[in-house]
Amino acid sequence: MTIRYDGQVAIVTGAGNGLGRSHALALAERGAKVVVNDLGGAVDGSGSSSDAALETVRLIEQAGGEAISNGANVANLSQVEAMVAQAVEKWGRVDILVNNAGILRDKSFVKMTMDDFQLVVDVHLIGSANCTKAVWELMRGQGYGRVVMTTSSSGMYGNFGQANYGAAKMAVVGLMNTLVLEGDKYDIKVNCLSPTAGTRMLDGLLTDEVSAVLTVEAVTTGLLTLCDNDAPNRTILCAGAGGYARTHIYETDGIFLAPEDQTPENVRANMDAIENTDNQKMLVGGFQQTDKFVAKASAYFKNK
């Protein structure tokens, strides 16, 4: 089966360079009409220019595809809504949203200003929420949608000097988890991509040899599997250098302490049992954790 997007419309944010450009080109090559969004700023978010987005559009058109450029700042909801309106006016619908736009303001937390923290969260988290909000009602109405958040190993596992970036990147996983539940009956599937690629965000940090294998195209290969009719749902797909893996969040079965035993000392004393991975599960809704703990308590009181 060949993955195609014929007749579909995709919005890719941050598509002027790097991963976003690769995503946009590949979606167009497989039949999608693409809105190439890019503010055209530097890696730290400063400045703006339409040149990068227009170049991506030119490359798509040169290859026989259809595309339009848009310079909306994803952190500005009104600009994002205007971008979606532009897509609908041009092509009548939006089927795919790839939340790829991002910036970096790396510093250790002790040296980081809260302005730099806020700005990174605004672009990565609020930007993803803005873009998704702007297409959400449209996708519900048409009974179809594919949304991809871009998360990061820095968020899921941590990375020195990236408290702002890591917090935002883990937050989009939480956004995905809830939107999966709310979009299910409308055939809106929401997934996360965790990329590793030799883009300008990693300039100066990688050797030429490592950069040569960390291609943007290898990441885009993974991205394409999250955007089509048969896409999975609630998947965190990790992609880089030709490697593909999936991140899961598990919760251990845990223990129950009787009311008279519910002290911090007893919790500490039982930490080995609490951390025991036997019977651990992937939960697919916050209520499942509550149900599990209530069931343990109910069983105890029933047997008293």
By annotation, the residues acting in catalysis are 165
Question: 3-state SS of the chain: helix, strand, coil percent to 5?
Answer: 50, 15, 40
Q: What is the distance, to the nearest Å, from the Cα of residue 197 to the centroid of all Cα atoms in its chain? A: 15
The dihedrals phi and psi of 110, each to the nearest 5 degrees, come to: -65, -25
> Looking up tokens 């497989």, which residue turns up?
30
Alpha helices in the chain (DSSP H): 18-29, 51-62, 77-91, 114-121, 127-142, 153-156, 163-183, 208-213, 216-224, 264-269, 271-275, 286-302
Among candidate residues 10, 29, 19, 125, the one with its CA nearest the CA of residue 70: 10
Contacts of 60 (CB under 8 A, 6+ apart): 24, 25, 28, 34, 36, 66, 67
Among candidate residues 118, 129, 120, the one with its CA nearest the CA of residue 44: 120
Amino acid at 175: L
Residue 248 tokens read as 């899961």
Query: Judging by beta carbons within 10 Å of its beta carbon (0-12, 13-18, 19+), is residue 101 exposed, middle or buried?
Result: buried
Residue 27 tokens read as 């979606």
Q: What is the distance, to the nearest Å, from the Cα of residue 8 to the centroid of all Cα atoms in its chain? A: 21
